Amino acid sequence: MYVSHFIGGEAYAGKTARSGPVFNPSTGEKSYDLSYADRALVDHAVQVAARAGKLWGDTSQARRLGVMFRMRELLIANTDKLAELVGVENGKTIADAKGEIGRALEAIEYATSAAEVTKGEYSRNVGGGIDVFSIREPVGVVACIAPFNFPVMVPMMMACMALAVGNAVIVKPSEKVPAATFMLGQLWKEAGLPDGVWNAVNGDKEVVDALLEHPLVPVISFVGSTPVGEYIYQRGSSFNKRVAAYTGGKNHMIVMPDADLEEAASAFVSAGYGSASQRCMAISLLLPVGQETADRLIEILIPKIRGLHMGAYNDPKADFGAVVSAESRQQVLAAMHKAVEDGATVLVDRHHEVAGQTGFYVGASLLDHVRPDMDIYRHEVFGPVRGIVRVADLDEAIRITNDHEFGNGAVIYTRSGPAAHRFVAEVKAGMIGVNVAVPVPVGHHNFGGLRRSKFGDAHMFGPDAARFYTDAKTVSQRWAGVEATQTVSMAFPSNG
């Protein structure tokens, strides 16, 4: 497998001093060494993007949107190839990888509405023969810093609208999963995107800092952990950049006594353990209301969790695959061990079943009697260890949900309209589910969390994305001979 930086419409053939290994999580074996960019190479990529972006921004809307439509067809045609790359480097199953590619299609489809969501307003003769209108223009170069858990979906969610409104992009994928981003660059070129409008540079913090500090990169989009996202937001803002950082989650799922418990249990297992729980919108904590609800729900949950099949990304029987790295595996197991030390009760512990496998596997586990003062409650665990927090009533459930520092998503399962209405009104989270376990919105609605799950005012997806990637101009104009005056006036102008 050959993976490189993608700059100016082609693979970068030069050498840099640093590199890092890329692994296959399903086997634990190293696939290849990835060249890391240095500051000089980042500067080269930015200069290329800035020149190409100026021309692309002046290109007609019709031509830009034509590229979007062609890219959509290429993404569909190459789904199997992309899914294979995602599986090999991320560890998620082929079915899961194809699911994220389906969501990437939504990003392209919504980007084709760029002309609609960026059109301005016009007011005729607001006073004194002056007409006022507004326009939106591309910012130039957008840096997209993407995570390992969605190697196709997130770069496309970030970049599609940025491209559609006339910007060039530089994608910095996770150094754990660079191959899909490299292939996307090749597909964009095939779709007719001019060379230099989509670029990818690989590396670690040195590359990120170079992008944050570069004067020709005015906009930064990031998805990843909260500590890194906060750093990127603060560092980027200090250079007067526009930054949107979408960060961690600890998503609560409240189950009311009147809920369909079989449905709720299936939803929790799917949303909690899918993709080995490496999703910012995964359900982390189950909050059954009342002891009877908790006990009945646990009886249904345990056999479902014990029945999950772990396996390689290309194992058709696998429900989920390995976590992304050996370090991730150790972090997940350490979090579970600490939770037991803190007093949590183990209901299911399957990680011992994978002791003989060479991949980065972590078995599905479920803990009961988790409390808000425990580390397992406070911190995001990017692996298949989920917890149950028993609550007495809806009041306590809402209070606990809102007291957490993260506010990415929150879910309620109930048959009660009043309970659902109150939950929607009172819970402080960016994405709410009512009998929907993974409330990630479709492409034409805004995506993003609240509190420490998002830094900055923008959203991915939805009309906010178009505004984030453009600058607004308001123009007041009057032509000679139209109610003009030749006299000098020192008063502040009015439109009377």
For the residues 352-359, what does the mean pLDDT come to?
72
Looking at domain 6-247+453-475, which of 3.50.80.10, 3.40.50.12780, 3.40.605.10, 3.90.950.10 is its CATH number? Answer: 3.40.605.10
The DSSP letter of residue 40 is H
How do residues 95-130 score in pLDDT, each as one tens digit?
999 999 999 999 999 999 998 888 888 999 988 888
What proportion of the chain, given as a percentage, has pLDDT over 90? 75
Give the pLDDT confidence score for residue 490 in this predicted structure: 66
Residues forming CATH 3.40.309.10 domain(s) in the chain: 251-434
456, pLDDT greater than 90 = no
Q: Catalytic residue at 160?
A: no
Give the pLDDT confidence score for residue 492 in this predicted structure: 63
For the residues 320-347, what does the mean pLDDT come to?
94
Give the pLDDT confidence score for residue 214 in this predicted structure: 97
- The answer to whether 312 and 27 are in contact (CB under 8 A) is yes
The C-alpha atoms of residue 53 and residue 138 are separated, in whole angstroms, by 9
How do residues 171-193 score in pLDDT, each as one tens digit?
999 999 999 999 999 999 999 99
Give the pLDDT confidence score for residue 16 in this predicted structure: 87
CATH architecture of 251-434: 3-Layer(aba) Sandwich (3.40)
Residue with token string 């607004």? 472
Give the pLDDT confidence score for residue 486 in this predicted structure: 64
- The answer to whether 107 and 137 are in contact (CB under 8 A) is no
Helix then strand then coil, in percent of the chain rounded to 5, is 40, 20, 40
Give the pLDDT confidence score for residue 484 in this predicted structure: 58
The tokens for 47 are 């200069």
For the residues 397-404, what does the mean pLDDT come to?
93
For the residues 415-437, what does the mean pLDDT come to?
90
483, pLDDT greater than 70 = no
Give the pLDDT confidence score for residue 102 in this predicted structure: 93
The C-alpha atoms of residue 208 and residue 226 are separated, in whole angstroms, by 15
The C-alpha atoms of residue 112 and residue 443 are separated, in whole angstroms, by 11
Which residues, other chains included, contact 258 with Cβ-Cβ below 8 Å and sequence gap of 6+?
414, 415, 416, 419
How do residues 30-82 score in pLDDT, each as one tens digit?
999 999 999 999 999 999 999 999 999 999 999 999 999 999 999 999 999 99
1, pLDDT greater than 70 = no
Query: 87 — phi, psi (to 5°)?
Result: -60, -45
Give the pLDDT confidence score for residue 449 in this predicted structure: 63
Which of 41, 280, 394, 437 does the annotation list as catalytic?
A: 280
86, pLDDT greater than 70 = yes
Give the pLDDT confidence score for residue 496 in this predicted structure: 57
How do residues 287-327 score in pLDDT, each as one tens digit?
999 999 999 999 999 999 999 999 999 999 999 999 999 99
* Helix residue ranges per DSSP H, 342-479: 375-378, 394-403, 417-426, 462-468
Q: How confident is the model at residue 355 (pLDDT cuts 50, 70, 90)?
A: low
* Helix residue ranges per DSSP H, 91-178: 94-111, 114-117, 153-164
440, pLDDT greater than 80 = no
For the residues 2-20, what does the mean pLDDT come to?
91
Q: How confident is the model at residue 448 (pLDDT cuts 50, 70, 90)?
A: low
443, pLDDT greater than 80 = no
Query: Positive or negative CA dihedral for 21, 160, 157, 217?
Result: positive
pTM for the structure as a whole: 0.90
359, pLDDT greater than 70 = yes
**How does the average pLDDT of the chain come out, rounded?**
91
| H or E stretch at 177 | none
Residues forming CATH 3.40.605.10 domain(s) in the chain: 6-247+453-475
The gap from C-alpha 310 to its chain's centroid, in whole angstroms, comes to 25
11, pLDDT greater than 90 = yes
Cα 134 to Cα 17, 185, 279, distances in angstroms: 48, 33, 39
Give the pLDDT confidence score for residue 438 in this predicted structure: 81
Give the pLDDT confidence score for residue 92 in this predicted structure: 96
How do residues 47-59 score in pLDDT, each as one tens digit?
999 999 999 999 9
| H or E stretch at 7 | strand 6-7
How do residues 189-246 score in pLDDT, each as one tens digit?
999 999 999 999 999 999 999 999 999 999 999 998 889 999 999 999 999 999 998 8
Question: CA gyration radius for the chain?
Answer: 25
Q: How confident is the model at residue 386 (pLDDT cuts 50, 70, 90)?
A: very high
